[in-house]
Each structure stands twice: as structure tokens, then as C-alpha cells.
């Protein structure tokens, strides 16, 4: 077997997977394609069952036809090719949450089927409590597991109410709180880069790092999610979940092992050490914005308040840029800049670790555009790792030029990089908790966000306008400058 030969498939043990909300956008766009790919690759034995639960009564063939039509509409041809592999495993059930009849129907559809029974709640958080009323089973992860999608509530108080109900029926080891960013190949390789090599871990501290940036940019607008987005906004939708988990993954101390609780213990320490940004005034550490009409790829697009189902004069933020710090011995004083927004110029997710300059610069960087060593972890549109260095320029005496060491995962392994949901679903079915959140992590994330939201409300901070197709309000650029740096796109425009 050569280095680039795919490893043999290791099928998961028989299971029953109940997908609640199977007709929703998340299920159709992410979960069902991931299940189809795993089935097509041979991960599911013939006994395994996948049950699609939704209000409408449909047959398995009708459900597959509807999914095929949806995937065709969004151009997912690879997922369409994998769909037939689901058919041998597929059942459907018409289910409205609530009431004894619904519980009896759910009990009947899973009776006699393989364990573990996995209930995946691809539902609004407001329905989690209703779903738990239908789930009845032992406190045994080998027999029953529940997957909860983010956001887990809309505040710390709301989250605690849901968690209390879940904890009445399940042990912590049965609960899989999912954040799909933790399933991305580049995030897992960030952990491997730190813990599997001696090169970087000694450098990830306040002595060597000048600044950390995390950008999660979307080129899409609110689209058809206005009802959800009006309740969440960018702070709760992106910062509370994805961004704080990425901060914790990068900034945590090395765990004593790769066991789930060992990893989550270290992430929790970071989340509890986060400094809440200052709000208001010229030195504010947070900028919120809302996109107005502009242009994307040469075509005009409406502003947020002109999107369908968005209330007039909405004050929901579609953009957030903030500066925080991790108040511990490793990171004290290092700015962590977080930025996310809709209708930005391109779809981009990246982590940039900006290292400090050498204490004495003996060489002359060619062109004068050098901004220091950087480690860039790209999560989308492609997974990759880049290390920005200076190297001697041929024929130039004592002159250096920026170069990039680039690891593209698809090129490196010559095999397709698995989608985040494929990795996470595989781990759920195998009973692996390392890539999922623990209750105290979620509580710490909400504590940070709730304090910040209350400060914004108390000071009556309103979102600043930014044109669709831009990088957000100009104040976000000033925020990065005051923190001692510039956003990564400024460095790219400078030719680095």
C-alpha cells in the first residue's frame, strides 16, 4: 500500500439513526448528503437503519426523490450520485412533536431495530424540549444517544433550561452537542500540528505571538433564514459557537491525553479566561454592522432590511468584529481579533497566527512589504495550512523575499478530504465525543456572549452600515489597527 492509497473502510457497528427535521434545510444540505457519502463508501452494514422523521407522510422513495431534486437545485452532483446508497437503510415516519400519540409512534418505529438508537435534532432549539418528551431510553451510550445542533438556545438562561431537561433523561456521555467547524480537516490538523510536532507548540504563547485573527466571512445574505437570523444575529449565530470554539482549540494548553474530557477540560479553561470586550466610545473593542445595498460579483444585491421577511428598521447585526484576550499566563496581552459577517466579498474562513518580529533585523525584506511570520489555517473554501517565511533572494545580496510553505490537504493525500459532517456523523455512530461540546463549555460561551450583548444593549449600540461586497464598516479596520495589525486581506493586497 502506497502513502497516498486510501485506507480500507472500517464499517461502523449496526445502528438506528433517527433524523428529526429531515425536510429542513440543514438536513437536506448537509446531513443527508453526509449520510449518503458514508453509505456509498461502505461504512454502513445492511442491518443499519436511517429513519427520516418529519411532519408530512412520505415514503422512502418519495423522500429520496425530494432530496435528489433539492441537491440538483443547489448543484451538488456528487451527493446526488451517492443518494441511492441510502435506499437499503431508509425508513420514514410522520411525526409531530408533542403528545402521547407521537411518542407511541416513535417507539414503534425504533422497536426491534439495532442499537444504539441515535436521535439527531436538526430542529430549532425551541423544539429540543418537545423532542426530549418523546425520547425514552436507558442511560447507556451504547443504547441511546442524542445529537443537538447549535445554537443551543438563544441565551445562557435559555440554554440552561434546555440542558436541565436533557440532563433529566440522559447522562453527559450520551449527549453530542455538534459544532461542525470542529469536524473540519484543517481544525483537526491544527491540533495535530501542535501536539504531534515539536516545532510550533513552544511558539504559541505571548513571547512569540503578536496577534491572532479569526475570520469567518460569508458572501451570501440572509437568504430565506430571516426568521432565524432575526432571533440570533451574527453574535449568537457565529461568535457564540464556531468562533469561540476555534479560539479555545488554538489557545488551549496541551491536554494530558486525546480523551474527550481531557481535551474539553483544556478548552474550558480558555473559554473561562476570555476577556469581555470594552463597549462604546472611540476605544471600543467591538464593531457591529448591518449590510446595505451593494454589489456582489458585479450584480446589485439588496440590503439586509430589504431582504424578505426582515422587519423594517431591524437592528439585527449581520457583521461583528471584536478584540478579546485570553487572560492566562500563556496568552496574557495577546489580541485575539474575531470577525464574521454576511455579504462580504468572498466565502472565507481562516485562522491567522501573526508571530513577532525577530529582535534584530539583519536582512532587508525586498519591496518593504513584509509583515512578519504568519501561520494561516484555511478552513474554507479549501482546507490548507500555510507558513509565511522570508527566504534569500537569488542574486540579491542580503535581501530576503516573502515565500509561502503551503500544505493543501487534497494535494498532499491525493484522496478526497471528508466533509465535516461526514467525520462528525462517523464519530457519533462510533461513540466518540472528542469533537463535541460539553455542557460547561456551552455555558462558558453563553456567559461571554450574554455579558457582551447586555453591554451593547445598555449602551444602545446600533449596527453601522456597510455596503454588500465590502469587508465591513471602516471602524473594523481601525479596530485591527489599534490592536497593532491589519486584517489579512490588507496583507494580501500588499502582495504578501
Q: What is the pLDDT of residue 96?
A: 86
Same domain, 103 and 228: no
Same domain, 75 and 188: no
Same domain, 112 and 208: no
Same domain, 189 and 140: no
- Single residue among 149, 173, 208 that ends a domain in this structure: 149
Same domain, 349 and 300: yes
The domain total for the chain is 2
Same domain, 108 and 66: yes
Any domain includes 230 = yes
Q: What is the residue range of 382's domain?
A: 182-240+273-414+448-493
Is 242 a catalytic site residue?
yes
Any domain includes 138 = yes
Q: What is the pLDDT of residue 2?
A: 40
Task: Pull the grid cell for residue 187.
Answer: 481544525
Beta bridge mates, 228: none
C-beta of residue 293 within 8 angstroms of C-beta of residue 300: yes
C-beta of residue 332 within 8 angstroms of C-beta of residue 339: no
Residue 34's domain is classified under what CATH number? Answer: 3.40.50.720
Same domain, 476 and 386: yes
Any domain includes 8 = no
Any domain includes 429 = no
Same domain, 308 and 382: yes
pTM of the model: 0.93
Give CA–CA dist 34/22, Å, rounded: 13
For residue 309, count CB atoms less than 10 angstroms from its CB and return exposed for 0-12, middle for 13-18, buried for 19 or more: exposed
Instruction: Give the mean pLDDT per block of 10 residues along the chain (496 residues).
Output: 51 96 93 96 95 93 95 92 96 88 92 96 92 91 95 92 95 96 87 88 95 96 87 94 96 95 97 96 92 94 94 95 97 97 94 92 71 88 86 77 80 69 96 96 97 96 96 95 85 53
Same domain, 108 and 224: no
Q: Which of 208, 242, 313, 388 is catalytic?
A: 242
Beta bridge mates, 16: 49, 117
Cα–Cα nearest to 221, from 322, 287, 125, 314: 314
Task: Pull the grid cell for residue 3.
Answer: 502513502
Any domain includes 263 = no
C-beta of residue 186 within 8 angstroms of C-beta of residue 409: yes
24 DSSP assignment = S
Same domain, 118 and 188: no
Cα–Cα nearest to 58, from 92, 21, 108, 20: 92
C-alpha gyration radius of the chain: 24
Distance of CA 13 to the CA centre of its chain: 27
- Single residue among 149, 166, 198 that ends a domain in this structure: 149
- Single residue among 131, 149, 167 that ends a domain in this structure: 149
Same domain, 67 and 189: no
Same domain, 206 and 132: no
Please state, in angstroms and as integers, the Cα–Cα distance from residue 357 to each residue in 172, 199, 361, following that order: 45, 17, 8
Any domain includes 156 = no
Residues 6+ apart with CB under 8 A from 74: 29
Any domain includes 443 = no
Q: Where are the alpha helices (DSSP H) in 133-252?
A: 156-169, 185-195, 226-234, 244-251
Any domain includes 267 = no
Residue 362's domain is classified under what CATH number? Answer: 3.30.360.10
Beta bridge mates, 349: 216, 380
Amino acid at each position: 500500500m502506497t502513502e497516498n492509497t486510501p485506507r480500507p473502510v472500517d464499517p461502523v457497528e449496526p445502528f438506528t439513526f433517527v433524523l428529526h427535521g429531515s425536510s429542513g434545510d440543514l438536513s437536506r444540505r448537509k446531513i443527508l448528503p453526509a449520510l449518503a457519502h458514508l453509505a456509498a463508501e461502505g461504512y454502513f452494514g445492511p442491518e443499519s437503519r436511517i429513519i427520516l422523521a418529519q411532519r408530512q407522510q412520505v415514503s422512502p422513495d418519495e423522500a429520496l426523490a425530494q432530496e435528489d431534486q433539492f441537491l440538483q437545485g443547489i448543484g451538488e452532483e456528487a451527493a446526488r450520485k451517492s443518494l441511492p446508497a441510502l435506499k437499503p437503510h431508509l425508513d420514514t415516519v410522520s411525526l409531530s412533536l408533542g403528545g402521547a400519540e407521537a411518542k407511541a409512534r416513535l417507539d414503534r418505529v425504533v422497536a426491534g431495530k439495532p442499537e444504539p438508537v441515535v436521535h439527531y435534532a436538526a430542529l430549532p432549539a425551541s423544539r429540543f424540549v418537545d423532542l426530549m418528551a418523546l425520547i425514552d431510553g436507558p442511560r447507556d451510550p451504547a443504547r441511546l444517544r442524542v445529537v443537538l445542533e447549535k445554537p443551543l438556545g438563544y441565551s445562557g438562561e435559555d440554554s440552561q433550561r434546555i440542558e436541565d431537561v436533557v440532563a433529566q433523561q440522559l447522562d453527559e456521555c450520551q449527549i453530542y452537542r455538534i459544532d461542525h467547524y470542529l469536524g473540519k480537516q484543517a481544525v483537526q490538523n491544527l491540533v495535530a500540528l501542535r501536539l504531534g510536532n515539536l516545532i510550533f507548540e513552544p511558539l504559541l504563547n505571548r513571547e512569540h505571538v503578536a496577534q491572532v485573527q479569526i475570520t469567518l466571512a460569508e458572501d451570501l445574505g440572509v437568504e430565506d433564514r430571516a426568521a432565524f437570523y432575526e432571533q440570533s444575529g451574527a453574535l449568537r449565530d457565529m461568535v457564540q459557537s464556531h468562533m469561540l470554539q476555534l479560539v479555545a482549540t488554538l489557545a488551549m494548553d496541551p491536554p494530558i491525553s486525546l480523551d474527550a474530557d481531557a481535551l474539553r477540560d483544556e478548552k474550558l479553561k480558555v473559554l473561562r479566561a476570555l476577556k469581555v470586550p470594552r463597549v462604546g466610545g472611540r476605544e471600543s473593542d467591538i464593531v457591529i454592522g448591518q449590510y446595505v445595498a451593494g454589489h456582489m460579483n458585479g450584480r446589485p444585491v439588496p440590503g439586509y432590511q430589504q431582504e424578505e421577511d426582515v422587519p423594517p428598521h431591524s437592528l439585527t447585526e449581520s457583521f461583528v468584529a471584536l478584540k478579546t484576550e485570553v487572560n492566562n499566563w500563556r496568552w496574557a496581552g495577546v489580541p485575539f481579533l474575531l470577525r464574521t459577517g454576511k455579504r462580504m466579498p468572498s466565502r472565507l474562513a481562516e485562522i491567522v497566527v501573526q508571530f513577532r518580529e525577530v529582535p534584530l533585523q539583519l536582512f532587508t525584506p525586498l519591496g518593504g512589504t513584509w509583515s512578519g511570520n504568519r501561520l494561516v489555517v484555511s478552513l474554507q473554501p479549501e482546507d490548507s495550512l500555510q507558513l509565511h517565511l522570508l527566504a534569500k533572494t537569488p542574486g540579491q545580496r542580503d535581501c530576503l523575499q516573502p515565500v509561502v510553505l503551503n500544505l493543501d490537504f487534497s494535494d498532499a493525500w491525493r484522496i478526497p478530504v471528508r466533509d465535516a459532517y461526514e467525520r462528525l456523523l462517523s464519530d457519533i455512530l462510533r461513540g466518540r465525543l472528542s469533537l463535541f461540546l460539553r455542557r460547561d463549555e456551552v455555558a462558558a460561551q453563553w456567559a461571554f456572549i450574554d455579558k457582551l450583548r447586555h453591554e451593547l444593549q445598555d449602551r444602545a449600540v446600533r449596527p453601522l452600515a456597510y455596503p454588500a461586497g465590502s469587508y465591513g464598516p471602516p471602524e473594523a479596520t481601525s479596530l485591527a489597527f489599534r490592536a497593532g495589525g491589519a486584517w489579512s486581506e490588507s496583507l494580501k493586497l500588499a502582495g504578501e
